[in-house]
A = this chain, B = another copy of it.
Amino acid sequence: MALIVQKFGGTSVADIARIKHVATRVKHEVEAGNQVIVVVSAMSGVTNQLVDYCNEVSNLMTDAARANADHVIAAGEQVTSGLLALELQSLGLPARAWSGWQLPLSTDTRYGKARIVHIDTKSILDSLAEGTVAVIAGFQGVSPEGRVTTLGRGGSDTSAVAIAAAFNAERCDIYTDVDGVYTCDPRIVKKAKKLDKVSYEEMLEMASLGSKVLQTRSVELAMNYRVKVQVLSTFDERPADQLPGTLLVDEEDLVEQQRVTGLAYSRDEARITLVNVENCPGVSAGIFGPLADHGINVDMIVQNVTEDGKQTDITFTVGKADLARGLEVLKTAPGIPHYETVHTDAGVAKISVIGVGMKSHAGVASEMFRTLAEKSINIIVISTSEIKISVLIDESYIELALRALHTVYGLDAVEEQSC
């Protein structure tokens, strides 16, 4: 008997009708002879509503305030888990709802973005052994202080994958409102293709580069524990074993490694350039240390030294929402190195080419640069990893760049022939 974890996101449990549909999906797995653990998000819109309530009463950023906010926000998933368990019972399946603290699913005390520390499997294994479906509220756990924690946005994916790892599940099926992972965002590139398989490493890059299908931390977890994750459409009426979907696999399991697997992009970028910074040891630490201390994530960084080596220009990117605060830190934080002036640009975007095949296929980068040059698109910053090349460009060229690169790397879908 196999143990399957099924995760349903907010749009999958948006209302009572959708919850009833989800129950039939669960029933199908049970009738196929599996033990089933279901992980659910809050009904779509509920978490936002609860967060709005919290913001209306408090703008405090203390741990004590975040703990009270988590107490509020975790209620959304609690409701969905109870409702789905009730519906499963109505279909004749024994089912029990679980909150994070009831397993317990133990986390650290970083309220609002807690990390999972340990998942106690005993109670649920006992319950599964009795033939009961376990419906677990995602996105939440309990801290060593006995308080409810939440795992941060998209945390239900993380719950599901961590639970699949802890229970050594055969599969972790993530049901969402798209039918899989695509070579590029189909809203921008019409010819984008669904990928049948994608490696953990590629998915990790795509998730962190703006593809919203899976949360980055859940992919990291899946990779570390080799959890067999499938992304499936909740709106497709076919049974799970007939759904196309996308399977996360080990790199070695990709039979034919494409040079490029997919393209990702992010509009949430702002550029900051410090001009004529005095060049001395520790200058980078002097700039990026204070920014990190203020919780500002810096992504791409380039540095050019003047000919005499005495001065340097430093360009880097931050999230658009952090731009004003970042400039404030650069102006006021103690220890920031002297610089002549600062330029900023919030009208930039990052596009990325991703593929494990890059390691063995040369020329992917040069092909990218040539393609963008042909379209007269200026590259502002370049950053690379083993399986990814990212460039910062003017935001207005984003669609043009993605479509051109999609064609150049041979990713365009072939029109299906109708017979």
Contact = CB atoms under 8 A, between A and B. Distances in A.
A72 B68 contact: no
Interface residues of A, number: 45
Contacts of A94: 64
A338 B71 CA distance: 58
A57 B102 contact: no
A81 B147 CA distance: 13
Interface string A22-64: 0000000000000000000000000000100110111110101
Contacts of A56: 16
Contacts of A68: 82, 85-86, 89, 95-97
B50 A16 contact: no
A101 B19 CA distance: 27
A56 B62 CA distance: 40
In the complex, which of the residues A58, A73, A74 has the most CB atoms of chain B within 10 Å of its own CB atom? A58
Contacts of A57: 16, 19-20, 83, 86-87, 90
A274 interface: no
Q: Chain A contact residues: over half helix, strand or loop, or mixed?
A: helix
Contacts of A97: 68, 71-72
A57 B13 CA distance: 13
Contact of A50 (B79, B81, B146): B79
Contacts of A148: 99
Contacts of A146: 102, 123
Nearest to A23: B57
Contacts of A70: 82
Given A57-B83, A71-B99, A101-B101, A65 B78 contact: no
Nearest to A95: B68
A140 to B, nearest CB: 11
A82 B68 CA distance: 5
Nearest to A20: B57
Nearest to A96: B68
A69 interface: yes
A75 interface: yes
A67 interface: yes
B71 A85 contact: yes
In the complex, which of the residues A60, A64, A69, A71 has the most CB atoms of chain B within 10 Å of its own CB atom? A71
A20 B53 CA distance: 12
A72 B78 contact: yes
Nearest to A54: B86
Interface in A1-19: 16, 19
A72 B83 contact: yes
Given A62-B89, A72-B79, A75-B79, 20 more contacts: A16-B57, A19-B57, A58-B86, A60-B86, A60-B90, A64-B89, A64-B94, A64-B96, A67-B96, A68-B82, A68-B89, A71-B81, A71-B97, A72-B82, A72-B83, A74-B78, A75-B82, A101-B101, A102-B146, A123-B146
17 contacts: A19-B57, A50-B79, A54-B83, A54-B86, A58-B86, A65-B89, A67-B96, A69-B86, A72-B78, A72-B79, A72-B83, A74-B78, A75-B75, A75-B79, A78-B78, A102-B147, A123-B146
Interface of A: 16, 19-20, 50, 53-54, 56-60, 62, 64-65, 67-76, 78-79, 81-83, 85-87, 89-90, 94-97, 99, 101-102, 123, 146-148
